Amino acid sequence: MLTIDDERRLLTSEKVRNAVQVQSHVLGIARQFFVGRGFVEILPVVISPFTDPLTDYRVRGEIECYGFHYQITKSMIFHKQMALLSLPRVFCFSPNIRIEPAERRTSGRHLIEFVQLDLEVRDASREDVMKLAEDFFADLFERLPAVAADELRFFGRVILPPRRPFRAIRHDEAVRDYGNDFELGLSQDLREPAWILDFPAESREFYDREYPDRPGVLRDMDLVYPEGFGEALSGGEREHELESIEKRIIRKGIDLASYKYYLDFARTGLPASAGFGIGMERLTRYICGLDSVREARYFAKLPGTLSL
């Protein structure tokens, strides 16, 4: 467990302060970039009767209000989809709570509370949002050195805009070449970010869309940072028709009743869409070359510990 002295040391360290300053510039550049591309920023949803299933996170964060059960947001996936009824492009700096297994405390990549830049685009394809992500990272890495020169010098980091389009490999190729821990294996081999495409349905949640002509394979993607920093973003096209959503929920072994309100909403119509989410602490860790996401924000909460 962290002591008050440890918390104080971390909070006042030069390293964390510089990382948070870099992060503040990243947030500003991201806002400008996405607003410039026609996005509207929406406020985060923190509790709802439903959230991302993320079934490998064993404990569900629940609170009871007025006798109703609310869940604490693991991701805003469904609310992004629903917001597209009003606006064609939305983004949000969305706080997520995921009760990770305690063994992940030392991974350097996991926090139980983190923020993702989560976005969704109506009527977009996976390729549309991949292009958008590539343009965003190129813009960010072009502009950051001018505004965060002192901080980047402190970390000794030179982040160059990556070449576009990024390299892409299929999930089955990644597993063949790197085994089960393929994201980390691939990441360690990379000098520039790369995509992993076409995850199998059993390895992802029910909302990523299946190829209509390739059952069991998804129109989704992850982006992996170079130098062993691991996953940068995760996203894809979405299931939006009631029947397909129900089929996918059942195939996951999830009780339809636990998604009653989402399904009731989907019955009234959801737009086709694609989107992704970028973990802000992981992005900060990569830019600053930090050992752990614990140094990439104030009040970082590692799995299995009590933190302020």
Of 73, 75, 187, 284, the one binding ligand ASN (CB under 6 A) is 75
CB of 150 to ligand ASN, least distance (A): 32
Hey, what amino acid is at 272?
A: A
Residue 222 as a binder of ligand ASN (CB under 6 A): the answer is: no
Q: Name the residue nearer to ligand ASN (CB basis): 152 or 221.
A: 221
Point out which residues pair with 221 in neighbouring strands: 197, 235
**What are the structure tokens assigned to 52, written together?**
């991302």
- Of the ranges 65-73, 99-107, 234-242, 250-258, which one interacts with ligand ASN (CB under 6 A)? 234-242
Point out which residues pair with 72 in neighbouring strands: 47
Q: Name the residue nearer to ligand ASN (CB basis): 11 or 217.
A: 217
CB of 188 to ligand ASN, least distance (A): 23
Q: How far apart are CA 90 and CA 37, in angstroms?
A: 10
CB of 278 to ligand ASN, least distance (A): 8
Output DSSP code: residue 120: E
Place of tokens 């959230």: 51
Of 53, 162, 193, 235, the one binding ligand ASN (CB under 6 A) is 235
Residues of span 269-288 touching ligand ASN by CB under 6 A: 275-277
User: Under DSSP, is residue 16 helix (H, G, I), strand (E, B) or coil?
Assistant: helix
Could you count the other beta carbons within 10 Å of the beta carbon of residue 209?
Answer: 22
- Of the ranges 161-169, 195-203, 229-237, 254-262, which one interacts with ligand ASN (CB under 6 A)? 229-237
Interior/surface letters 262-288, b for 16+ CB within 10 angstroms, e for the rest: bbebbeeebbbbbbbbbbbbbbbbbbb
CB of 235 to ligand ASN, least distance (A): 4
Residue 52 as a binder of ligand ASN (CB under 6 A): the answer is: yes
**What are the structure tokens assigned to 35, written together?**
């607003």
Point out which residues pair with 156 in neighbouring strands: none
Contact, 304 vs 102, CB < 8 A?
Answer: yes
CB of 265 to ligand ASN, least distance (A): 18
x-or-dash string of contact with ligand ASN, 89-128, rule CB under 6 A: ---------------------------x-x----------
What are the backbone dihedrals phi and psi of residue 118, each rounded to the nearest 5 degrees, phi first? -110, 130
Q: Name the residue nearer to ligand ASN (CB basis): 159 or 280.
A: 280
Site residues, ligand ASN (CB under 6 A): 52, 75, 77, 116, 118, 234-236, 275-277
